[in-house]
Amino acid sequence: MDEAGLKSIAMLLRHRNEIDARIADIVGRPVVHGHLSDWIAAQIFDIELEPAANKTIDGRFRSGPLAGRTVNVKHYTRNEGLLDMTDSDELEYYLVMTGPRSAPVRSAGAHRPWTIDHVHLFDAFELTQALRAYMRRIGVATSVRAEHWHASEIYPKSANRTLPLTRDQLAALKGFSSAPGELLLGIPLRARRCL
C-alpha cells in the first residue's frame, strides 16, 4: 500500500472538494463537466439554459443573430474530431468548446486541464446531412471531418461568421485559454495556485 500517495490524494481531494463547492455556489448546479460548461457558455454567449437537464437542448440564445434558436453546448478537453450528436429536429445548433487540437492522449494518468482554446458553432441540420452523405452514424462520439471543424470555428479564428463575437466575449474566452501566462478571468497565473 502506498500510504504517502493515499495521504496526498486525500489532501488534494479535500482541496478539490472545497473548490468544487465554491464553483457550485456560483453556477447554482453541481460541479459536473456538463453543468459547468453549460453555465460558462450561457454567461459568454447569452444563452438561457433549460431549467432541467435535457439531452437534446441545453438552452436558447437570448440575443444576437441567433436569438431564440436552440443550442446544445459541448465541452471537450481536447479536440479529437469527435462530437456527441443527436438527430432531433428540435436542435438547431451545437456550440462546442474545446481545449487544444491534438491526437488522443493515451498515457495513463495524463492530465487534461479544463480549458477553452477553440469554439465551434455547427448548424445541427447541415452537419447531420453532411455526415449522412459520408454514411456516418449519428450518435455518441460521432466522427466529424477536420474540414467541418475548421469551417465551424468562431474562436480564435472566425471562419464561421454566423455568430460574430464581441470584444467582451473574446476577452472572456481568452481567460480560459491553455496558453501559459494567460489571465483567468482577470486572475494572473501565479495567483491561481492560491484559489
> Do residue 44 and residue 80 come from a single domain?
yes
Cβ-Cβ contacts under 8 Å for 141 (sequence gap 6 or more): 82, 83, 84
**Total tally of structural domains belonging to the chain:** 2
* E-strand stretches of 20-172: 47-49, 59-61, 70-76, 82-83, 93-98, 118-123, 142-143, 153-155
Q: What is the pLDDT of residues 71-89, one digit of tens each?
A: 999 999 999 999 999 989 9
Cβ-Cβ contacts under 8 Å for 99 (sequence gap 6 or more): 76, 77, 78, 79, 112, 113, 114, 115, 116, 117, 118, 178
> Do residue 43 and residue 24 come from a single domain?
no
Q: Is the pLDDT of residue 106 over 70?
A: no
- pLDDT grade for 178, boundaries at 50, 70 and 90: confident
Q: What is the pLDDT of residues 37-70, one digit of tens each?
A: 999 999 999 999 998 877 799 999 999 999 999 9
Give the span between the Cα atoms of 89 and 156, in whole angstroms: 29
> Do residue 5 and residue 91 come from a single domain?
no
> Do residue 72 and residue 123 come from a single domain?
yes
> Do residue 50 and residue 143 come from a single domain?
yes
Q: Is the pLDDT of residue 190 over 50?
A: no
33 closest CA partner among 127, 105, 97, 100 = 97
Residue 46 cell numbers, joined: 447569452
49 closest CA partner among 73, 20, 65 = 73
Report the predicted TM-score, pTM, of the whole model to 2 decimal places.
0.84
> Do residue 141 and residue 178 come from a single domain?
yes
> Do residue 11 and residue 66 come from a single domain?
no
- Any idea of the CA torsion for 78, 81, 85, 90, to the nearest 10 degrees? 90
Residue 180 gets the label, from left (phi > 0), alpha (psi -120 to 50) or beta, of beta
- pLDDT grade for 189, boundaries at 50, 70 and 90: very low
Give the span between the Cα atoms of 103 and 33, in whole angstroms: 21
> Do residue 51 and residue 91 come from a single domain?
yes
> Do residue 24 and residue 119 come from a single domain?
no
Pairwise pLDDT comparison (104 vs 100), residue with the higher score = 100
> Do residue 91 and residue 185 come from a single domain?
yes
Residue 55 cell numbers, joined: 439531452
Q: State whether the Cα torsion 184-185-187-192 is positive or negative.
A: negative
> Do residue 156 and residue 142 come from a single domain?
yes
- pLDDT grade for 27, boundaries at 50, 70 and 90: confident
Which residue range(s) make up the domain with 2?
1-30
As a whole-number percent, the residues of the chain with pLDDT over 70 amount to 87
> Do residue 92 and residue 9 come from a single domain?
no
